[in-house]
Amino acid sequence: MGILGKKGIPAFLAASLMVSAGVFPVVAAAETPKQSAKTVNQASAVEKTNISKEQAIEIAKKAFPIPKDFTQQNVEFQSNWWGNGVPAWIIQWDRQNPPNYGHFQIVVDAATGSVLNIDMYDSSNQKASYPPKVDMTKAKDIALDFIQKHFPDQSQSIVYDTRFEQSTKPPLSGFVEYPIFFKRTVNGIPFEGNEIRVNVNGEGKIVNFGYRWDDRLQFPVAEKVLSKEQIENIYANRLQPSLRLISQWGPNTERKVNLAYMPQGLNQYDLGYLRATDGAMISVWGDPVQSNDNGLEQIADQKLGDLSKEANLSQEQALEIIKKHFSLPEDINQIRASYREQWGDSKTSVWEFNWESKQNGIAAGWSMGAVDAKTGRVLNYNNEYRVYMEKEAVTSPEKEKAKLSEQEAEKKATELLKKLHPDIAHQIYKIKGPMAPYQVDNNRIYTFSFLRQVNGVSLEYGGINVNIDGVTGEVTNYWFDLGNLNIPDKLPEVVGPELAKKKIMDRTDLYLTYIIPQSKQIGIMNTAASQSKPILVYQPRMKETGEPVYLDATTGKWTNRETGKPITDVQMIVDIKGHPAEKELTLLSKYNVFEPKDNQIFPNELISRGEMIRMLSLIENNGYPIWIDPGRAATFKDVQKESPYFGFIENAVERNWIDRDDVLGPEEKINREELADLLVRALGYQKLVEVPDLFKNDLEDSADIKNVGSAILVTKLGIMDVREGKFEPQGNVSRADAAVAFYQYLGKRNQIR
């Protein structure tokens, strides 16, 4: 969820944007600039409003108390605020009092005087607090009290939105902030377009809030709504899990891909909505979608030929291939030809070409193309910017009248792909889906998406696109993702689609809500549009886990997309609950610090040196994988690149947590002194603890401690304990012991830093 509201662009910023974009206002020196029609219309709209600027300011001040050290900066009138057809006054206050900054923006309906939007930020309430004094539960209470105080009427018709809480992990940093969202409810049903958001920090202070509410909206009465069970049956019957090759996220030494089952809804990318009254699938524009309007359509029923066998094409040969398939403008000039041994993430050698067209000596458009230097396969071509530059120059609507219908443009696109890819044409499918309404009304550019499918497997996002200019009939844009050539010919053993469907349904929530359809006019956002009528729908949503996940098609398990390892819900770990270190073990488990086996983490087992370093690395990186240069040489002979600890240990070397040596012994068990030394170095106090007699030494066994300063510091800070006056440097360290020490380390780290 984003920040509520939308600020106007200050004049100086607008001017700078114009200059940076190469657009300069031209005014005749001897003439006074004429007032534009837009300015006249805006002034006329202001005169017709029921609420004056002065009245709007007073309404805004009464709506919410503005702190005394905030200064009113700007008042703006918009005749069509946020694209919803509502005239509005936008009043802004600002505070520039270093180190405290802040802003207020309040939007008032110029017709009715109601407050449509409030957006506030106050940096003076941003304070470090770890462990936070206020948890999520308390933060929700603070937020609700705030809403009941300032918006008593609205507080009677809101419901807490759990999605943020479900998708986030407990904070590890000192600056803790909980965004608490409450959705507006109508007839007891949430409405996505209106909400109140309150951001509470770890001290319990409100640092930010947003309010969006539109009382003009007319909601349909919720009659004859299908039950959750009925809609689940309808959705399950329509759901067709599809096999996709997906890229593994995060820092990997190589571009890994995994085979996943993904739900295919309205089209290849969108799950769509189901109308609550009858279960009909509808588009984001609110229109019913017929079953034959979405899906996949094969462009050829057999292989059509082979690509050229000639290897290592010359520049001239590659250029001729592009000219064979695309109509380069006559007035275009080639400005660059580049040969790349490796194109992007692939290992393919490619010829790239760039062209430029000029009008009166000024650049009026650019084009580009790329050809596989070994096979002659055209990978991309783009002339769209030039087309749009020409379009801006068109003054007569008749000149824009399309010569091609959508069906004719689609045929042209498919014929192009057949010629470009005769060897795989029988494996290319058009992705069917409803055309955007604005494309129907303004068909200058037709957009078509395709994918390659082999044994039911395709890329996650298709990766084949063709745009056709409906006026000239030319191809304006073409793109082919080389990943389409990496789809394996032989399908590995996978779980069946029925099991995949069950797994997906188990994680899918069909959420009853009101939505406002997107505007059918291009460039208009109807996030709370009074001109549009809300629709009651069931929206399919994947339940949040706090991790990026996919359904592994080979194992049938939900898997972390960054690590490639199956996820385990902390609530499912059986040996944490009731443990003396339950709080600490639970927190670290949510950051993937442990690797559960059979829903157990074995908290009382002793940990190794590699595991200790891995735990600290993940804690310091908020649970995210560690990126290491793939060309990096291993520091230790016994921790090579294939080691599961390699990235973590090299990260520790870079951060000076451990010393360079020949061997590390990652599988050796650690002791308390080694853990203390690691934590001190992570705090950055390695040199400090080496100063003789700096700390009072009251450890009875200090003579047995090599780095006594480290032991004294971690005990004085309360990170590690003293046992009957002794530190016990050679004592064992279990996972639970390490979890407690790291938990205490977090609190001290944030206080110190």
Q: What is the pLDDT of residues 462-501, one digit of tens each?
A: 889 999 988 888 899 999 999 999 999 998 999 999 999 9
pLDDT in tens, 433-446: 776 665 655 557 88
The average confidence (pLDDT) of the chain is 84
* pLDDT(2) > 50: no
Q: Is 113 left (phi over 0), alpha (psi -120 to 50) or beta?
A: left
Q: Which residue has the higher pLDDT, 524 or 542?
A: 542
542: which residues sit within 8 A by CB, 6+ positions away?
507, 508, 509
Give the pLDDT mean for 124-153. 89
Question: 727: pLDDT confidence band, cut at 50, 70 and 90?
Answer: very high
122 CB contacts (<8 Å, ≥6 apart)? 67, 100, 102, 206, 207, 208
Q: What is the pLDDT of residue 361?
A: 73
What digits encode the pLDDT tens for the residues 381-429?
998 766 655 555 444 444 456 678 889 999 999 999 999 999 999 999 9
Q: What is the pLDDT of residue 388?
A: 57
Taking residues 727-748, report their average pLDDT: 95
Residue range 695-712: mean pLDDT, rounded: 91
**Can you tell me the mean pLDDT for 358-380?**
87
- Sorting pLDDT into bands at 50, 70 and 90, what band is 82? confident
744 has pLDDT over 60: yes
> Is it the case that residue 451 has pLDDT exceeding 90?
yes
- As a dihedral over the C-alpha atoms of residue 666, residue 669, residue 671, residue 674, rounded to 10 degrees, the angle is 0
pLDDT over 80 (residue 523): no
- Give the model's confidence band at 176: pLDDT under 50 very low, under 70 low, under 90 confident, else very high: confident
Kindly state the helix (H) or strand (E) to which residue 459 belongs, with its residue range. strand 457-459
pLDDT of residue 665: 95
User: To which H or E segment does residue 513 belong?
Assistant: strand 508-515
Domain assignments of the chain as residue spans, ordered by start: 11-212, 228-293+493-551, 315-486, 562-752
Q: Is the pLDDT of residue 528 over 60?
A: no
pTM above 0.85, yes or no: no
> What mean pLDDT comes out for the span 556-580?
91
Give the C-alpha separation, 221 to 204, whole Å.
39
Give the model confidence (pLDDT) of 289-310 as tens digits. 876 667 889 999 999 999 877 6
Per-residue pLDDT, 252: 65
pLDDT for residue 529: 42
Higher pLDDT, 359 or 487: 487
The dihedral built from the CA positions of residue 271, 275, 281 and 284, taken in this order, carries a sign that is negative
Query: What is the model's pLDDT at position 441?
Result: 53
Q: How many CB atoms lie within 10 A of CB 31?
A: 7
Give the count of alpha carbons within 13 A of 211, CB side only. Answer: 23
